[in-house]
Structure 1
Amino acid sequence: MNIKQIATILLTVVLFTACKNETKEKEDSKTNSNVSEDFNTLLDNYYEDGLKLNPLSATFSGDTRYNDSFPNILSDEYISELKNYYTNYKEEVSKFNDEDLNETEKMSKDVLLWECNSNLETLTFKNGIYFPIDQMWSVNLVMGQLASGGSAQPFSTVKDYTNWLKRVDGFVVWLNTAKVKMKEGMAAGYVLPKSLIVKIIPQLKAMTEPDLKKNLFYSPIKNLPDTFSEIQQQELSKAYSKMISEKIIPAYQNLHDFMAEEYLNAGRSTTGIADTPNGEAYYRHQIKKYTTTEMTADEIHQLGLSEVARIASEMEKVKQQIGFKGDLKAFFNFVRTNKELMPYKEPQQIIDHFYAIYDTMKPKLELLFDKKPKTAFEVKQTEKFRENSASAEYNPGSLDGSRAGRFYVPIPNASAYNIYSDESLFLHEAIPGHHYQISLTQENDELPMFRKTLFYSGYGEGWALYSESLGKELGLYTDPYQYFGMLGAEMHRAVRLVVDTGMHAKGWTREEAIQYCLENEAEPEAGIISEIERYMANPGQALAYKIGQLKILELRHKAEKELGDKFQIGEFHNQVLETGCIPLQLLDNKINAWIAQTQ
């Protein structure tokens, strides 16, 4: 065989191998494409089925298809359906192999498994059933927001108005069932502390206003569109009046009377969740649910004590800068009561004050953030019916951008409103805190729909508290009182680690927790009481802020150190924000991978 023949044979072998490899690559690509399509179909189905189970979530995301629906989430049938939902999707997503998924899909698989496992564990406890109502978190307060006509439930068409009438029918069933479940809870040892019950009673009473035109549920009728015919306006006014007098007032009155008498008499004198059946296990679950870590109550308590000491040291420096001669506790009282820090008389002045903070920081935002949300933003006063028990909060805009993100500020008394912490508050609740974090997630077309509306407190609240630390980089905190306000806000979150674990794992009383807060932070006593009772109503939720903040700061410092000149703050923020809300362990893995890749 001559050289030419050998070369021909070798060339044939090479060409055959290349064609075979190319064919295999095409087959693999087709297989991966099919897997990806099947996987994303599963995620879409999970999201769609979830909206049917939670139509309020659909409404708040701007999806109007279920605006007439309110399932009885306390019924045995609903709970069984919810359990099947998470069980089935956990089984289905587990069938996909990681090696067949791209990075975004692998993250979605991990998030979905975390979500299913966490919710299935929640369903093993009775707390959500036997504690359906509290003074801050429960669904009746959400329905009050919607009833005002100024929240996520639209009131623009006749169908919008009739949708609400149908939704109220389901809500009334829920109200009646709530009483039944609380009675069952009493018999089983599940009852709220008296200090929380007395806060709920006036909230319920407010909804029994007999003057229909003053009743909150009549609010949409006060703003009937001019495009409605006279007959339509008359029919809707009559229907809403009947709904309030025959359904809302009787249901709320019945629940009010029960809670004001039988339930209040049975109310606990103890504070922590450990004093309820299976309470210690429930608190461990709540810690993992909200912090998305494996930390123990003892570890968190010790971390809190350490952070309180560190922040107190920084506060001392500000006190000296201002020239205050007393101790730190006296300085807290001075800041709380300083009339110079209460300059406003009308709520609108306070709203304008927040917009002025935004104007100050706008030029610096360009330097720290490559991406900014398209969703509009606005500041609003918290509705009167709930502002006495409410904290400042952010409500996301709709997924389609038609409804702005809203920063709600409770202003029960404008002349007593202290502005010393408003810069840090704005950074946290608004920009670049929750508004950037949530809006950028909702606007990210690479994320499946179910991840656009997820909220893990460890990440979400951690990002918001981390945002407070950006004040100086954004041109804020030039006033020492505002910087002290930031330290005060951080102290507030550090104190939470101590008092939340103190009450729910170490036997602290409500009064001991209040006293610890008074000694270590500058919040007014009324605000501290409201906060402590918030932690009592939802154990573990308050732990997420500081633990999430410390994780993001840890990852930033690590990236700065290991990347050196390659570190870009805008890109770091992109990496943290682009995946949306995820458990902290998954965020840790992602940022470490990014650091390694950038190196």
Structure 2
Amino acid sequence: MLASCKTEDRKSDAVSNKPIDSIFAEFYQFKKSINPIEATKAGYSGYNDTIANYISDRYQKHLVENYGRFLEQLSAYDSTELTPAQWMSLRVMQWDCAIKKEGLTNKLVTMASPIYDLPSFELMPLIQIQSLHLYVAQLAGGTSVQPFGTVKDYDNWLERIDDYVIFLDACVVKMKEGIKQGVVLPKSLTKKMIPQLTGFIEAPVKRHLFYTPILNMPDTFITTERERLDKAYTSAITEKLIPAYTRLNDFLTNSYVPACRETSGIGALPHGPETYQYLIRLHTTTNMTADEIHELGKSEVARISEEMEKAKNAIGFQGDLKAFFDHVRNHGEQMPFTQPDQVIANFNSIRERIDKKLGQVFDLKPKAGFEVRRTEAFREASASAEYVPGSKDATRSGIFYVPIPDVRNYNKFADEALFLHEAIPGHHYQLSLQQENESLPEFLHPESMGVFVEGWALYAESLGKELGLYEDPYQYFGMLSMEMHRAIRLVVDTGIHAKGWTREEAIQYSLDHEAESEEGIIAEIERYMATPGQALSYKIGQLKIRELRDKATASLGDSFEVKEFHNQVLNSGSLPLILLEEKIEGWIASQK
């Protein structure tokens, strides 16, 4: 298809009157072809040699045509022809195609970014976080999802580099057009990108990140192949990558930064307000308005503040909540580490404690392995903690990445909640179970709906006491702080993008209501500036899952079984909230 010129011959034609399972299979093939990095992430090798130039007009036209074709095919079915599971999968596919097609008609958005299925902005294709230039560098090190086990793998990566260089140059063209149209990034975000490029320009070839696979070549490679690959990777770095990074860096420094805007939100851009409302629907799967979400956020901030007061008083701190935030931020006992390995070891000890009680709360367990790993140095300064799933066949473990830019200032007060969110039973459980579920169509195996994925992970944080955690009152306060962090997002994201808040106003609101460090808060606010609407998904999803659990508990009484509730939430893949609610209400009725 249009992943690159190399994949156009992989296009399949629409066929009428197909069995629904064949349409599901065709849709997944389409999804892999338009997002080849996600295909690699899922363990499919057929697209390991390409990167999509997803900001090109031709590529986006291709998407519009195919989403429309799939919607037309799905409209021929009704629920009487399909099993309940098939009908649910059809409705998820229908929602996905419709919302993505709508995004492609928006004046600002392009719906094909290869990073976590997030939308991209055609005229602002690179940002300081969750951006292709960072993800490709992550793949280049050879320890992520890009395979480097065979000579073919090494050659595939060389071809992928060729596509990547084309993409970087296309970004410069699009950003120049953005300058003409007044669609540019906030200056503070662009200034964060420039240092990310420096290491790729100045590093000697033998110490260049993109040379790392050569240093780790398998012993099975014969001498002639080793010499050929060494020469080819050296050439790719010196003749393609460094010049491309230099062109991009020079453009950002000399042309783009002077043209960047001082405003923070997307609402200040042409077509910004309607684009933000679209992004709210995309990321929350609801029709809530920015004003409704803003008020919900403020009410949640007030509720959690009351719980924090109780936790602070239980600890015995004398002073108001804001003073307690400063105490937690700077409390020496919460920053005990001197080596990054100690941070990793602390997370592994949390895992050991959880293992003792998991069986009481879950009876589904993924096959995939799991490890905790420090975030790579080149992106650590701007990165948040994150989880990257293992392969579908469980041969590659899932990875919980932890940024530790300054170990002596690493504060552990929320580590238990963070582990529950990113690892077990949060993202590692949900995403691994989803992609290992053979009863689901394959298009439902990847990460997909952020409101479900992140909503589940935030809900997982609330299970700490059931899993033997939060015995340390600081860790319990850390859980409240994590929840507060997500409630604040509802306020500041809508504040920035719909109410004209400045970056500094959003930072101050966060400082006033949570115990995160100022450095961490700045990174988070800049993340919301770069990815409008995405941060809303966590709390909106969590509140719905908690609401459904409370409803099931009240309706079923003594017959409520938390393990079965969790099974019902997790065994259909990522669902829009309206479909999740429909499913759980049906389950409650069936249990009665």
TM-score tier, shorter chain, comes to over 0.9
Alignment equivalent of 1:103, drawn from 67, 70, 84: 84
Alignment equivalent of 1:213, drawn from 198, 202, 206: 206
String of CA shifts for 1:296-315, please: whole Å, max 9, x gaps.
11111111111111111111
Aligned to 2:559: 566
The answer to whether the 8 Å contact 1:36/1:101 transfers is no
- Larger radius of gyration between Structure 1 and Structure 2: 1
Shift in Å, 1:36:
10
Residue type of the alignment partner of 1:235:
R
In structure 1, C-alpha distance between the alignment counterparts of 2:462 and 2:373, rounded to whole Å: 24
Higher-helix-fraction structure: 1
Aligned to 2:196: 203
Residue type of the alignment partner of 2:44:
D
String of CA shifts for 1:369-389, please: whole Å, max 9, x gaps.
011111111111101100100
Instruction: Describe how 1:342-361 pairs up with structure 2 within 5 A.
Output: 342-361=335-354
Alignment equivalent of 1:539, drawn from 532, 538, 548: 532
The answer to whether the 8 Å contact 1:441/1:580 transfers is yes
Give the TM-score taking structure 1 as reference length: 0.93
String of CA shifts for 1:446-472, please: whole Å, max 9, x gaps.
100001114211111000000000000
Q: Which runs of 5+ in 2 are unaligned?
A: 1-15, 110-120
Aligned to 1:556: 549
Residue type of the alignment partner of 1:545:
Y
Aligned to 1:163: 156
The answer to whether the 8 Å contact 1:271/1:509 transfers is yes
Instruction: Describe how 1:352-501 pairs up with structure 2 within 5 A.
Output: 352-501=345-494
Alignment equivalent of 2:133, drawn from 140, 153, 163: 140
Aligned to 1:45: 26
2:317 aligned counterpart, secondary structure: coil
Shift in Å, 1:498:
0.5
Aligned to 2:43: 62
Aligned to 1:131: 124
Shift in Å, 1:230:
1.9
Shift in Å, 1:71:
2.8
Q: Is it true that 1:318 corresponds to 2:311 in the alignment?
A: yes
In structure 2, C-alpha distance between the alignment counterparts of 1:44 and 1:346, rounded to whole Å: 48
In structure 1, C-alpha distance between the alignment counterparts of 2:290 and 2:30, rounded to whole Å: 35
Alignment equivalent of 1:112, drawn from 93, 109, 112: 93
1:136 aligned counterpart, secondary structure: coil
Shift in Å, 1:155:
0.5
In structure 1, C-alpha distance between the alignment counterparts of 2:459 and 2:73, rounded to whole Å: 36
2:371 aligned counterpart, secondary structure: strand
Q: Compare 424-433 and 134-143 and name the one that shifted more.
A: 134-143
Shift in Å, 1:210:
4.1
Aligned to 1:90: 71
Alignment equivalent of 1:297, drawn from 290, 301, 308: 290
Shift in Å, 1:209:
2.4
In structure 1, C-alpha distance between the alignment counterparts of 2:248 and 2:333, rounded to whole Å: 44
1:154 aligned counterpart, secondary structure: coil
In structure 1, C-alpha distance between the alignment counterparts of 2:422 and 2:270, rounded to whole Å: 35
Alignment equivalent of 2:235, drawn from 222, 236, 242: 242
2:264 aligned counterpart, secondary structure: coil
Residue type of the alignment partner of 2:488:
V
Moved over 3 A (4+): none
In structure 1, C-alpha distance between the alignment counterparts of 2:79 and 2:165, rounded to whole Å: 46
In structure 2, C-alpha distance between the alignment counterparts of 1:455 and 1:74, rounded to whole Å: 20
Structure 1 residues 595 and 138, CA gap change in structure 2 (3 angstroms):
same
The answer to whether the 8 Å contact 1:382/1:411 transfers is yes
Alignment equivalent of 1:229, drawn from 218, 222, 226: 222
Aligned CA RMSD, in angstroms, stands at: 1.1
String of CA shifts for 1:336-389, please: whole Å, max 9, x gaps.
011111111111111111010010011210000011111111111101100100
Aligned to 1:7: none
In structure 2, C-alpha distance between the alignment counterparts of 1:209 and 1:220, rounded to whole Å: 19
Residue type of the alignment partner of 1:101:
L
The answer to whether the 8 Å contact 1:462/1:545 transfers is yes
Residue type of the alignment partner of 2:280:
I
Aligned to 1:513: 506
Aligned to 1:15: none
In structure 2, C-alpha distance between the alignment counterparts of 1:69 and 1:96, rounded to whole Å: 35
In structure 1, C-alpha distance between the alignment counterparts of 2:447 and 2:429, rounded to whole Å: 15
Aligned to 2:59: 78
In structure 2, C-alpha distance between the alignment counterparts of 1:235 and 1:397, rounded to whole Å: 31
Shift in Å, 1:527:
0.3
Aligned to 2:254: 261
In structure 1, C-alpha distance between the alignment counterparts of 2:442 and 2:202, rounded to whole Å: 40
In structure 2, C-alpha distance between the alignment counterparts of 1:229 and 1:367, rounded to whole Å: 52
Residue type of the alignment partner of 2:564:
E
The answer to whether the 8 Å contact 2:431/2:447 transfers is no
The answer to whether the 8 Å contact 2:447/2:453 transfers is no
In structure 2, C-alpha distance between the alignment counterparts of 1:220 and 1:339, rounded to whole Å: 40
In structure 1, C-alpha distance between the alignment counterparts of 2:18 and 2:444, rounded to whole Å: 17
Q: Which runs of 5+ in 1 are unaligned?
A: 1-34
Shift in Å, 1:249:
0.3
Give the TM-score taking structure 2 as reference length: 0.94
The answer to whether the 8 Å contact 1:500/1:542 transfers is yes
String of CA shifts for 1:143-174, please: whole Å, max 9, x gaps.
01101111000001111100000010001000
String of CA shifts for 1:254-302, please: whole Å, max 9, x gaps.
0011011210000000011000110000100111111111111111111
1:152 aligned counterpart, secondary structure: coil
Residue type of the alignment partner of 1:374:
K
In structure 2, C-alpha distance between the alignment counterparts of 1:427 and 1:392, rounded to whole Å: 12
Q: Compare 202-211 and 340-349 and name the one that shifted more.
A: 202-211
2:357 aligned counterpart, secondary structure: helix
Shift in Å, 1:184:
0.6
The answer to whether the 8 Å contact 1:129/1:181 transfers is yes
The answer to whether the 8 Å contact 2:53/2:167 transfers is yes
Aligned to 2:518: 525
In structure 2, C-alpha distance between the alignment counterparts of 1:402 and 1:374, rounded to whole Å: 9
Q: Is it true that 1:282 corresponds to 2:275 in the alignment?
A: yes
String of CA shifts for 1:18-38, please: whole Å, max 9, x gaps.
xxxxxxxxxxxxxxxxx9971
% same residue:
55
The answer to whether the 8 Å contact 2:276/2:497 transfers is yes
Aligned to 2:103: 122
Aligned length: 565
String of CA shifts for 1:407-452, please: whole Å, max 9, x gaps.
0000111121110000000000000000111011111111000011
